[in-house]
Amino acid sequence: MPARTKVIVTRKLPDAVEARLSELFDVELADTDKPFTSAQLADAVSRADVLVPTLGDQINANVLARAGENLRLIANFGAGVDHIDVETARRRGILVSNTPGVLTEDTADMTMALILAVPRRLVEGVQLVRSGEWTGWAPTAMLGHRIAGKRLGIIGMGRIGQAVAKRAAAFGLEVHYHNRKRVHPQIEDALGARYWESLDQMLARMDVVSVHCPHTPGTFHLLSARRLKLMKPSAYIVNTARGEIIDENALGRMLSAGELGGAGLDVFEHGPNIPDRLKDAPNVVLMPHMSSATHESRIETGEKVIINIKTFADGHTPPDRVVPAML
Protein backbone atom coordinates (compact mmCIF):
# COMPACT_ATOMS: atom_id res chain seq x y z
CA MET A 1 0.00 0.00 0.00
CA PRO A 2 1.52 3.36 -0.97
CA ALA A 3 2.21 6.07 1.62
CA ARG A 4 -0.91 7.93 0.50
CA THR A 5 -3.78 5.64 -0.38
CA LYS A 6 -5.21 6.17 -3.86
CA VAL A 7 -8.96 6.74 -3.44
CA ILE A 8 -11.36 7.25 -6.34
CA VAL A 9 -14.83 8.63 -5.60
CA THR A 10 -17.59 8.08 -8.16
CA ARG A 11 -20.06 10.84 -7.21
CA LYS A 12 -20.07 14.39 -5.87
CA LEU A 13 -20.07 14.28 -2.06
CA PRO A 14 -20.65 17.04 0.50
CA ASP A 15 -17.85 19.61 0.52
CA ALA A 16 -16.82 18.80 4.09
CA VAL A 17 -16.46 15.10 3.24
CA GLU A 18 -14.46 15.80 0.09
CA ALA A 19 -12.17 18.20 1.99
CA ARG A 20 -11.39 15.59 4.65
CA LEU A 21 -10.79 12.89 2.04
CA SER A 22 -8.34 15.21 0.29
CA GLU A 23 -6.47 15.85 3.54
CA LEU A 24 -6.00 12.17 4.29
CA PHE A 25 -5.62 10.45 0.93
CA ASP A 26 -4.53 10.81 -2.68
CA VAL A 27 -8.09 11.25 -3.86
CA GLU A 28 -9.75 11.69 -7.23
CA LEU A 29 -13.10 13.41 -6.74
CA ALA A 30 -15.99 13.33 -9.19
CA ASP A 31 -16.48 16.65 -10.96
CA THR A 32 -20.15 15.92 -11.79
CA ASP A 33 -23.06 14.29 -9.99
CA LYS A 34 -23.70 11.77 -12.77
CA PRO A 35 -23.13 8.04 -12.19
CA PHE A 36 -19.96 6.54 -13.63
CA THR A 37 -20.34 4.60 -16.86
CA SER A 38 -19.18 0.99 -16.99
CA ALA A 39 -16.02 2.15 -18.76
CA GLN A 40 -15.32 4.73 -16.05
CA LEU A 41 -15.86 2.14 -13.31
CA ALA A 42 -13.52 -0.28 -15.05
CA ASP A 43 -10.87 2.43 -15.30
CA ALA A 44 -11.34 3.39 -11.65
CA VAL A 45 -10.98 -0.13 -10.28
CA SER A 46 -7.87 -0.65 -12.42
CA ARG A 47 -6.10 2.30 -10.77
CA ALA A 48 -7.48 2.68 -7.25
CA ASP A 49 -6.41 1.29 -3.91
CA VAL A 50 -9.89 2.14 -2.63
CA LEU A 51 -13.07 2.77 -4.61
CA VAL A 52 -15.88 4.84 -3.06
CA PRO A 53 -19.06 4.08 -5.06
CA THR A 54 -22.72 4.82 -4.42
CA LEU A 55 -25.83 2.75 -5.08
CA GLY A 56 -26.00 4.00 -8.68
CA ASP A 57 -22.74 2.23 -9.53
CA GLN A 58 -23.09 -1.39 -10.61
CA ILE A 59 -19.95 -3.09 -9.32
CA ASN A 60 -20.56 -6.46 -10.95
CA ALA A 61 -18.26 -9.34 -11.88
CA ASN A 62 -17.37 -7.74 -15.23
CA VAL A 63 -16.21 -4.55 -13.54
CA LEU A 64 -14.33 -6.46 -10.83
CA ALA A 65 -12.55 -8.47 -13.52
CA ARG A 66 -10.81 -5.21 -14.48
CA ALA A 67 -9.62 -4.53 -10.93
CA GLY A 68 -5.92 -3.84 -10.53
CA GLU A 69 -3.69 -5.56 -8.01
CA ASN A 70 -3.84 -2.57 -5.65
CA LEU A 71 -7.63 -2.51 -5.26
CA ARG A 72 -8.26 -3.98 -1.83
CA LEU A 73 -11.29 -2.05 -0.53
CA ILE A 74 -14.63 -0.90 -1.90
CA ALA A 75 -15.84 1.62 0.70
CA ASN A 76 -19.47 2.10 -0.25
CA PHE A 77 -21.10 5.47 0.42
CA GLY A 78 -24.38 4.07 1.77
CA ALA A 79 -25.77 1.14 3.70
CA GLY A 80 -27.19 -0.99 0.89
CA VAL A 81 -24.71 -3.07 -1.10
CA ASP A 82 -26.99 -4.95 -3.49
CA HIS A 83 -25.28 -3.06 -6.36
CA ILE A 84 -21.95 -4.68 -5.45
CA ASP A 85 -21.05 -8.31 -6.19
CA VAL A 86 -19.71 -8.87 -2.68
CA GLU A 87 -18.98 -12.58 -3.21
CA THR A 88 -16.88 -11.94 -6.33
CA ALA A 89 -15.05 -9.17 -4.50
CA ARG A 90 -14.29 -11.57 -1.64
CA ARG A 91 -12.90 -14.18 -4.02
CA ARG A 92 -10.61 -11.54 -5.50
CA GLY A 93 -9.38 -10.49 -2.05
CA ILE A 94 -11.25 -7.18 -2.07
CA LEU A 95 -13.01 -6.08 1.11
CA VAL A 96 -16.34 -4.27 0.98
CA SER A 97 -17.53 -1.84 3.65
CA ASN A 98 -20.74 0.13 4.04
CA THR A 99 -22.26 2.73 6.37
CA PRO A 100 -24.94 1.07 8.52
CA GLY A 101 -27.09 2.92 11.02
CA VAL A 102 -26.63 6.41 9.58
CA LEU A 103 -29.92 6.54 7.68
CA THR A 104 -32.17 5.02 10.34
CA GLU A 105 -33.86 8.07 11.80
CA ASP A 106 -34.20 9.99 8.53
CA THR A 107 -35.69 7.00 6.69
CA ALA A 108 -38.08 6.30 9.56
CA ASP A 109 -39.19 9.94 9.50
CA MET A 110 -39.93 9.78 5.77
CA THR A 111 -41.73 6.48 6.18
CA MET A 112 -43.99 7.99 8.80
CA ALA A 113 -44.58 11.00 6.56
CA LEU A 114 -45.77 8.69 3.77
CA ILE A 115 -47.93 6.66 6.16
CA LEU A 116 -49.67 9.92 7.01
CA ALA A 117 -49.65 11.47 3.54
CA VAL A 118 -51.32 8.70 1.57
CA PRO A 119 -54.46 8.06 3.68
CA ARG A 120 -54.92 11.80 4.31
CA ARG A 121 -54.50 12.64 0.59
CA LEU A 122 -51.83 15.23 1.33
CA VAL A 123 -50.43 15.54 -2.19
CA GLU A 124 -53.91 15.74 -3.72
CA GLY A 125 -54.71 18.59 -1.34
CA VAL A 126 -51.55 20.49 -2.25
CA GLN A 127 -52.28 20.08 -5.95
CA LEU A 128 -55.87 21.26 -5.49
CA VAL A 129 -54.78 24.48 -3.78
CA ARG A 130 -52.04 25.20 -6.31
CA SER A 131 -54.40 24.59 -9.23
CA GLY A 132 -56.60 27.47 -8.12
CA GLU A 133 -59.65 25.22 -8.22
CA TRP A 134 -60.16 25.02 -4.45
CA THR A 135 -63.35 26.88 -3.52
CA GLY A 136 -63.18 26.51 0.25
CA TRP A 137 -64.02 24.08 3.02
CA ALA A 138 -66.88 21.63 2.58
CA PRO A 139 -68.12 18.79 4.84
CA THR A 140 -67.48 16.08 2.26
CA ALA A 141 -64.41 17.52 0.50
CA MET A 142 -61.03 15.76 0.44
CA LEU A 143 -62.07 13.04 2.87
CA GLY A 144 -59.32 10.62 3.77
CA HIS A 145 -58.85 8.07 6.55
CA ARG A 146 -57.43 8.39 10.06
CA ILE A 147 -54.56 6.10 10.97
CA ALA A 148 -55.09 5.84 14.73
CA GLY A 149 -56.39 2.39 15.58
CA LYS A 150 -55.30 0.90 12.25
CA ARG A 151 -52.94 -2.06 11.87
CA LEU A 152 -49.43 -1.43 10.53
CA GLY A 153 -47.53 -4.43 9.17
CA ILE A 154 -43.76 -3.90 9.04
CA ILE A 155 -41.77 -6.17 6.73
CA GLY A 156 -38.24 -6.28 8.13
CA MET A 157 -37.72 -5.40 11.80
CA GLY A 158 -34.13 -4.18 11.69
CA ARG A 159 -32.93 -0.73 12.75
CA ILE A 160 -35.28 1.16 10.46
CA GLY A 161 -38.26 -1.11 11.03
CA GLN A 162 -37.91 -0.65 14.78
CA ALA A 163 -37.56 3.12 14.43
CA VAL A 164 -40.76 3.17 12.34
CA ALA A 165 -42.54 1.03 14.95
CA LYS A 166 -41.72 3.56 17.68
CA ARG A 167 -43.11 6.42 15.63
CA ALA A 168 -46.18 4.48 14.55
CA ALA A 169 -47.10 3.57 18.12
CA ALA A 170 -47.07 7.26 19.03
CA PHE A 171 -49.69 7.86 16.31
CA GLY A 172 -51.93 5.12 17.71
CA LEU A 173 -51.20 2.44 15.12
CA GLU A 174 -51.16 -1.23 16.15
CA VAL A 175 -47.71 -2.54 15.26
CA HIS A 176 -47.31 -5.95 13.63
CA TYR A 177 -44.25 -7.31 11.87
CA HIS A 178 -42.78 -10.12 9.79
CA ASN A 179 -39.06 -10.75 9.88
CA ARG A 180 -36.71 -13.50 8.79
CA LYS A 181 -36.07 -14.12 12.49
CA ARG A 182 -38.24 -13.10 15.40
CA VAL A 183 -36.72 -10.24 17.40
CA HIS A 184 -36.00 -10.52 21.11
CA PRO A 185 -39.11 -10.53 23.34
CA GLN A 186 -37.84 -7.43 25.13
CA ILE A 187 -37.80 -5.54 21.83
CA GLU A 188 -41.32 -6.77 21.03
CA ASP A 189 -42.54 -5.64 24.43
CA ALA A 190 -40.88 -2.24 24.14
CA LEU A 191 -42.43 -1.67 20.71
CA GLY A 192 -45.76 -3.30 21.49
CA ALA A 193 -45.24 -5.34 18.32
CA ARG A 194 -46.85 -8.65 17.34
CA TYR A 195 -44.81 -11.12 15.31
CA TRP A 196 -46.27 -12.96 12.31
CA GLU A 197 -44.34 -16.00 11.12
CA SER A 198 -46.47 -16.07 7.96
CA LEU A 199 -46.09 -13.03 5.73
CA ASP A 200 -49.19 -14.06 3.79
CA GLN A 201 -51.35 -14.11 6.91
CA MET A 202 -50.04 -10.75 8.07
CA LEU A 203 -50.62 -9.06 4.73
CA ALA A 204 -54.26 -10.15 4.66
CA ARG A 205 -54.98 -8.43 7.97
CA MET A 206 -53.11 -5.13 7.74
CA ASP A 207 -54.42 -1.65 6.96
CA VAL A 208 -50.94 -0.30 6.15
CA VAL A 209 -47.88 -2.29 5.05
CA SER A 210 -44.39 -0.75 5.23
CA VAL A 211 -41.34 -2.36 3.61
CA HIS A 212 -37.97 -2.30 5.41
CA CYS A 213 -36.08 -5.41 4.33
CA PRO A 214 -32.92 -5.40 2.16
CA HIS A 215 -32.92 -6.29 -1.51
CA THR A 216 -31.41 -9.75 -1.93
CA PRO A 217 -32.15 -12.61 -4.35
CA GLY A 218 -34.53 -13.93 -1.69
CA THR A 219 -36.49 -10.67 -1.39
CA PHE A 220 -36.78 -9.86 -5.10
CA HIS A 221 -40.54 -9.41 -5.72
CA LEU A 222 -41.19 -10.58 -2.17
CA LEU A 223 -44.44 -8.67 -2.59
CA SER A 224 -45.48 -10.48 -5.75
CA ALA A 225 -48.78 -10.14 -7.56
CA ARG A 226 -50.09 -13.08 -5.53
CA ARG A 227 -49.13 -11.51 -2.23
CA LEU A 228 -50.39 -8.05 -3.15
CA LYS A 229 -53.78 -9.60 -3.89
CA LEU A 230 -53.89 -10.86 -0.31
CA MET A 231 -54.09 -7.29 0.97
CA LYS A 232 -57.36 -5.56 1.76
CA PRO A 233 -58.72 -3.39 -1.09
CA SER A 234 -58.62 -0.49 1.39
CA ALA A 235 -55.00 -1.11 2.48
CA TYR A 236 -52.04 1.16 1.80
CA ILE A 237 -48.47 0.15 1.02
CA VAL A 238 -45.34 2.20 1.74
CA ASN A 239 -41.84 1.42 0.47
CA THR A 240 -38.70 3.29 1.53
CA ALA A 241 -36.40 0.25 1.22
CA ARG A 242 -35.74 -1.01 -2.31
CA GLY A 243 -38.01 -0.89 -5.34
CA GLU A 244 -37.20 -4.44 -6.44
CA ILE A 245 -38.98 -5.89 -3.40
CA ILE A 246 -42.40 -5.07 -4.90
CA ASP A 247 -43.68 -6.29 -8.26
CA GLU A 248 -44.18 -2.77 -9.56
CA ASN A 249 -46.27 -3.71 -12.58
CA ALA A 250 -48.67 -5.72 -10.44
CA LEU A 251 -48.88 -2.87 -7.94
CA GLY A 252 -49.69 -0.39 -10.70
CA ARG A 253 -52.42 -2.61 -12.13
CA MET A 254 -54.04 -3.08 -8.73
CA LEU A 255 -53.98 0.62 -7.91
CA SER A 256 -55.53 1.47 -11.29
CA ALA A 257 -58.25 -1.13 -10.72
CA GLY A 258 -59.06 0.17 -7.24
CA GLU A 259 -57.84 -3.05 -5.61
CA LEU A 260 -55.65 -1.15 -3.13
CA GLY A 261 -56.27 2.02 -1.17
CA GLY A 262 -53.02 3.71 -2.20
CA ALA A 263 -49.24 3.69 -2.02
CA GLY A 264 -46.35 5.83 -0.85
CA LEU A 265 -43.16 5.06 -2.74
CA ASP A 266 -39.68 6.51 -2.36
CA VAL A 267 -37.95 3.76 -4.36
CA PHE A 268 -38.71 2.11 -7.67
CA GLU A 269 -37.88 -1.12 -9.43
CA HIS A 270 -36.15 0.58 -12.36
CA GLY A 271 -34.79 3.75 -10.77
CA PRO A 272 -36.17 6.98 -12.24
CA ASN A 273 -38.12 5.07 -14.91
CA ILE A 274 -41.51 4.97 -13.23
CA PRO A 275 -44.53 3.31 -14.89
CA ASP A 276 -47.21 5.74 -16.07
CA ARG A 277 -49.81 3.86 -14.01
CA LEU A 278 -48.01 4.94 -10.85
CA LYS A 279 -47.33 8.49 -12.00
CA ASP A 280 -50.95 9.02 -13.05
CA ALA A 281 -52.63 7.48 -10.01
CA PRO A 282 -54.11 10.11 -7.66
CA ASN A 283 -53.83 7.79 -4.65
CA VAL A 284 -50.05 7.37 -4.95
CA VAL A 285 -47.39 9.60 -3.37
CA LEU A 286 -44.12 9.36 -5.30
CA MET A 287 -40.83 10.62 -3.87
CA PRO A 288 -37.43 10.82 -5.66
CA HIS A 289 -35.52 8.41 -3.39
CA MET A 290 -35.08 11.09 -0.73
CA SER A 291 -35.73 9.25 2.54
CA SER A 292 -32.12 9.68 3.61
CA ALA A 293 -31.65 13.08 1.99
CA THR A 294 -30.66 15.25 4.93
CA HIS A 295 -27.49 17.25 5.38
CA GLU A 296 -26.83 15.38 8.61
CA SER A 297 -27.07 11.90 7.11
CA ARG A 298 -24.83 12.69 4.14
CA ILE A 299 -22.11 14.10 6.40
CA GLU A 300 -22.36 11.15 8.79
CA THR A 301 -22.24 8.71 5.88
CA GLY A 302 -19.08 10.38 4.62
CA GLU A 303 -17.53 10.22 8.07
CA LYS A 304 -18.16 6.49 8.22
CA VAL A 305 -16.60 6.02 4.78
CA ILE A 306 -13.50 7.91 5.92
CA ILE A 307 -13.22 5.84 9.11
CA ASN A 308 -13.48 2.63 7.08
CA ILE A 309 -10.76 3.76 4.65
CA LYS A 310 -8.45 5.13 7.36
CA THR A 311 -8.77 1.97 9.44
CA PHE A 312 -8.00 -0.14 6.39
CA ALA A 313 -5.06 2.06 5.34
CA ASP A 314 -3.63 1.64 8.84
CA GLY A 315 -3.61 -2.12 8.39
CA HIS A 316 -6.81 -3.09 10.18
CA THR A 317 -10.19 -4.49 9.13
CA PRO A 318 -12.74 -1.74 8.43
CA PRO A 319 -15.30 -1.55 11.25
CA ASP A 320 -18.18 -1.76 8.78
CA ARG A 321 -16.90 -4.63 6.68
CA VAL A 322 -19.64 -6.44 4.75
CA VAL A 323 -19.47 -10.23 4.87
CA PRO A 324 -21.26 -12.12 2.05
CA ALA A 325 -22.96 -14.47 4.49
CA MET A 326 -24.64 -11.45 6.11
CA LEU A 327 -26.61 -10.62 2.98
Over the stretch 216-264, which tens digit does the pLDDT of each residue have? 889 999 999 999 999 999 999 999 999 999 999 999 999 999 999 999 9
**Confidence band for 296, pLDDT divided at 50, 70 and 90:** very high
| CA gap 260, 239 in Å, rounded | 15
Which neighbouring-strand residues pair with 208?
152, 236
Decide if pLDDT at 290 tops 90: yes
Taken in order of first residue, the domains within the chain and their CATH numbers are 6-102+294-326 (3.40.50.720), 104-286 (3.40.50.720)
pLDDT for the residue 3: 63
- What is the rounded CA–CA span in Å between residue 83 and residue 44? 16
Q: In angstroms, rounded to a whole number, what is the distance separating the alpha carbons of residues 282 and 128?
A: 11
Full-prediction pTM beyond 0.75?
yes
Q: Do the beta carbons of residue 208 and residue 173 sit within 8 Å?
A: yes
pLDDT, tens only, 91-122:
999 999 999 999 999 999 999 999 999 999 99
pLDDT tens per residue, range 263-277: 999 999 998 999 999
Model pLDDT for residues 1-54, shown as the tens digit of each residue: 456 899 999 999 999 999 999 999 999 999 888 889 999 999 999 999 999 999
Burial class (CB in 10 A: 0-12, 13-18, 19+), 85: buried
The partner residues of 239 in beta bridges, in order of sequence, read 211, 265
CA 97 to chain centre: 17
CA gap 128, 266 in Å, rounded = 22
Quote the CA–CA distance of 103 and 298 in Å, as a whole number.
9
At 207, the amino acid letter reads D
Angle between helices 15-24 and 295-313 (to 10 degrees): 10
Output the CA–CA distances (angstroms, integers) from residue 247 to 2, 142, 204, 271, in the order listed. Answer: 47, 29, 17, 14
Dist CA 39 CA 149 (whole Å): 53
Q: Please determine, for residue 326, whether its predicted confidence score (pLDDT) is greater than 60.
A: no
Over residues 120-139, the mean pLDDT reads 96
pLDDT at 216: 87
Share of the chain above pLDDT 90, in %: 92
pLDDT of residue 294: 97
Q: What is the mean pLDDT of the chain?
A: 95
Question: Using one digit for the tens of pLDDT, what is the confidence trace for 199-213?
Answer: 999 999 999 999 999
- Contact criterion met (CB below 8 Å) for 301 and 293: no
- Cα dist. 138→122, 128, 133, 145, 171 in Å? 16, 14, 13, 16, 26
Distance CA 37, CA 241 (A): 25
CA distances to 120, 192, 260 from 150, rounded to whole Å, are 13, 14, 16
Q: Which residue type, as a one-letter code, is found at position 171?
A: F
pLDDT over 90 (residue 327):
no
Is the pLDDT at 324 greater than 90? The verdict is no
